[in-house]
Amino acid sequence: IYGVAWTPEPYVVDEEATIALRAQTRKDRIARGKPYHEFVEEFVKAEPPKELLYYGSWGQDDDEELIATHWGGLEPERVKGKLSELPLIMVPDRRVLKIGQLEQRVLELEQKYGEEVVHKS
């Protein structure tokens, strides 16, 4: 419920004031708005953010093209194409990804503070 005016003591809705308040709220929203083409230029991106692992189609003209992350090698690789052209896409376990991020952070801190640690794996 938005833009409702009421009398505080008996909590009765003031219909005329509510209509005026909602009209003002609408005018304010319109003033904050922007033309659709400006919104599209600012909001729509050519491809999804890198941190998203699997997306499917991404609003491109050829809706058969998919965008995904392939985990075939040591590093993830972004791939695009029709389903029949793509390699097998498997989304990795999020815990494995988190461990990789934490290991990278440990290495950064070791380098920053000049520590040499022998890692067994």
pLDDT tens, 15-72? Answer: 999 999 999 999 999 999 999 999 988 988 888 888 787 777 776 666 778 888 888 7
What is the pTM (predicted TM-score) of this model? 0.47
**Which pLDDT score is estimated for 60?**
65
Please tell me what DSSP assigns to residue 35: -
Please say if the pLDDT value at position 118 is more than 90: no
pLDDT, tens digit, 9 for 90 and up, residues 70-84? 887 777 888 888 889
CA dihedral 95, 99, 50, 77 (to 10 degrees): -100
